[in-house]
Every structure is written in structure tokens, then in C-alpha cells.
Structure 1
Amino acid sequence: MALWRVRATVDDRPGYLAVLAASLALKSVNIVAVQVHSTEAGAVDDFLVEAPESLTAEALVEAIRRGRGRDPWVCRANARVLVDEPTRVLGLAATVAIDPAGLESALSALLGGCEVTRGGADDRPGLTPGVLVVADPDGGLLVARRDEPAFTPAEYARAQALVQVAVAATAYA
């Protein structure tokens, strides 16, 4: 069996997530974990799934679309992603609490390994599909960039919370 990270937008209506799950089940895909990010476009569902080795990325995308999933994104994963999300995030928060200077690295890990750099004069705090900008506790801005999947408001809120941990750690140091 192979592990995949899957993200798709689904209408936030009764039964729509079940339709997507049933479509995946028809391809012998087992949902191991799911997170739901509420957005204006619908519920962005982030899955960790286990699928037969023979299932291709294209076949997985097709199953998502047949299950009424929009804007599908799939990526092979490894066993490290089996740590549940709250545990992983608490570990990152503890790391930042001990060493606030590690905030950039922790933000990168929080956001799936994307690039995090210091912002420029044109950057503003906020969120676009491929860019997430938060205030840097040391002054300036931190900018996270990735091509796919698009950032969600929930990811922005998590990044802001991690920045708050760095601010608190610095204040009490």
C-alpha cells in the first residue's frame, strides 16, 4: 500500500464528504486521517490516504473528481505523516517556545516544508493562494510560498498562532 496526501474542495453540504469517501473506496483507497478547512469556496478537505501501489496519481485525481471534489491535489507521502496533526503542531510550538529564533524553520514545517523567507517592502500580512505573510516578532515580515496546494485560512491562523508562541517566548525569556 502507498500513502498519499490529498486535498480537494467539497461543497459544505450534508452527504458531499460521504460521496467523496465512497468514490475513493471504489478504488480501494482507505482514509487514514482528515482535516477540514472552511473557506468561502467550500470545505477544503485534507486527507492522508492509503491506496494500492498500482493506483496512479491520475486515477486518484479521477476518483476525487467523480466524488464531487474540486481542485484536487495529490502527493505521495511517507510514514512520517502518520503523526496526528495536533501532536505535530504542539511539537513545533514547543520548539519555538524553547528557541524563538527557530520560528522560520518551524513555520516551514508547519506549512508542509514550503520556503519561508524575510519579506520585502511590497509584502503585506495576509493570504493569497500561493503566498502567506505573517508579522515577524523581530520586526518585518515572514513570507511563505508554495505552488500547491493553495494556502487556506486555517493554515494562516495556525501560522499566526505559532508567531504568537514566539512572541510569548521572547517576552518571558
Structure 2
Amino acid sequence: MRRFAARPRVTVLACEVCGRLPHPGRTRLTLAKLAAVFPVELALHALVVHLHPPYLLTVALLTVTTTILVIWVVEPSAMRMLGGWLHSPELRHRDRIDAAPALWRIRVRLADRPGALETLAKHLAHRDANILTVHVHQLEDAVLDELVVAAPAEVTPHAITAAAEHAGGSGVRVWPATVLSLIDGQTKALAIAARIVGDPDELPLAVAELLGARYLAPGTPAVTESGDGTLLELDRDDRRWGFVRPDEPFTPAEIARAHRLADLAALIARRQ
């Protein structure tokens, strides 16, 4: 059976379009070329000194031989052999990216009793998921917990959902998250409130930014059903704005913040 040679690890850095590797650093490239060329130059000069050919023949021999060997044989071979060392900074950076945990945003409904969140944390820990932030929204007969967790790249959303359900959670929703999800919600709300104080007409865009939703301009038809919690409407005086966030219902706390911002904008507008 024919065995295929393993591909060099450095090939992971190749461009997907042209297949070329990134240009290595100048210092490493210079050292690699010196390491490849110096032994060849030394051997050729030693041979010339030993044979003592005529001067013109010596010049021609060194020029042609060095050019052919260095450009076509030595340098390409050295670049392949030393590829891992030449591109080691890029490879280390790629390793850090590959090893970085994925961030997930979880929304789960739990029973309003002591130990429910602890049980959820234990089941997530079994998947090596580390809880970074927790926000608890009080409902009538339960609590709605919203978490941001960091998990290894191999942990799938299905595994996270299963862990939450095994912990007694219901209505589990999991979305990919970014580091922006780690920003404190109260701090962000205060910053946006200051923006509205400066200009009450910024209310629609400010609320959309706060909720991570899409602003529906007046007359724009909603693309979702209002009954699934993904459509929020705000009224101020005789004006109405709509906000939609598909597949991610607004929490009671988010709805309350949006209405308080609308009240703030109305108060500032009356004082102007």
C-alpha cells in the first residue's frame, strides 16, 4: 500500500487562494539564507583553491555554479527544511487562536429554588464550560438565566443545550457570542442614557444599540410575529418605534430598560 508523506505543519498558513505562505520576518529569512548559502560557497571556494584553474575559468565556475546551486537547489530546499522555524511566530499565533475557547450565550429557564443555578454550573463544568457572566431575570413562576460561557472549540451548541436540560433547564437557547457580550449591561445602559440626554432624537438608534436589535423605521413591516417575544414596540407621545431581534426574544429586564430610556427621552424633550 502506498503511503503518503505527511504535509508540513507550515502549510496551514498557506493562502487559500494562491497557496503561498506569508513572507517570513527579515531577520529569520536572512539567517536562513546564510545558513543555506555559506556551506556551498565555502565548498566551492575550497575546491577552486585546491585545483588552481585559470582566473577567468575560476570566475565563470564560481558564478555559474553558485547561481545554479543557490537559486535552484540550495535555497528552495533550505526554505522547505527550515519552514517551521521561519514561520514559527505565525504558527504560535495560529496555535493561540486555535486554542482559544469559544464564547457562547445561553438563555435558560430554571426553577426559582435554591441550588438551581449551582446544578446548572456543575453540568456545564462537565463540558469544560466556564461561566463568565450571569444575569438573572425574575419571571412569575421561574427565573430566566442568561449566561456567557467559554468552552473548548470542540464543545458544540448541542452539547451545551443538553447540559442545561440535564440540569433541569427548559426553553434553552444557545447563540455564538463575542467579547462584547462581556460588557456590563448596566454600564452600557448608563452610557447610552447619557447619549440620549445630549440628543433625545437618538432614542431609536440608542435602543437598537443597547438591545443588539434592528430598528424598524416607521412604515417598515415587521419580519417576525410579535407573540414570540422578538418584536419590541416603544411609544413616546404620538410616535412609535419597533425593534426586532430574530430568534432571540427580549428579556423582561431589556424591555424595562428600553421603556425607561423612552421615558428619559420624553422628559428631556419636554424640558428643551
Query: Following the alignment from structure 2 to structure 1, what is the Cα–Cα distance between the partners of residues 208 and 248?
Result: 14
Q: How does 1:66-145 map to 2 (within 5 A)?
A: 66-118=166-218, 129-137=229-237, 139-145=238-244
Contact 2:212 2:245 in 1 (8 A): no
- SS of match in other structure, 2:122: helix
Structure 1: 5+ residue stretches without partners = 121-125
User: Identity, % of aligned pairs?
Assistant: 34
RMSD over aligned CA atoms reads: 2.1
Which of the pair has the greater relative contact order for Cα pairs under 8 Å at 6+ separation? Answer: 1
- SS of match in other structure, 2:256: helix
Larger radius of gyration: 2
Higher helix share: 2
Deviation at 1:119, TM superposition (A): 7.0
Structure 2: 5+ residue stretches without partners = 1-100, 221-225
1:123 match: none
Contact 1:107 1:162 in 2 (8 A): yes
Higher strand share: 1
Matched, 1:38 2:138: yes
Contact 1:119 1:143 in 2 (8 A): no
Query: Following the alignment from structure 1 to structure 2, what is the Cα–Cα distance between the partners of residues 21 and 35?
Result: 14
Contact 1:30 1:49 in 2 (8 A): yes
Counterpart of 1:28, as a letter, is D
2:157 match: 57
Work out the number of aligned pairs and report it: 167
Matched, 1:168 2:267: yes
- SS of match in other structure, 1:27: coil
Shift of the 78–12 alpha-carbon distance from structure 1 to 2, 3 Å rule, reads same
Matched, 1:156 2:267: no
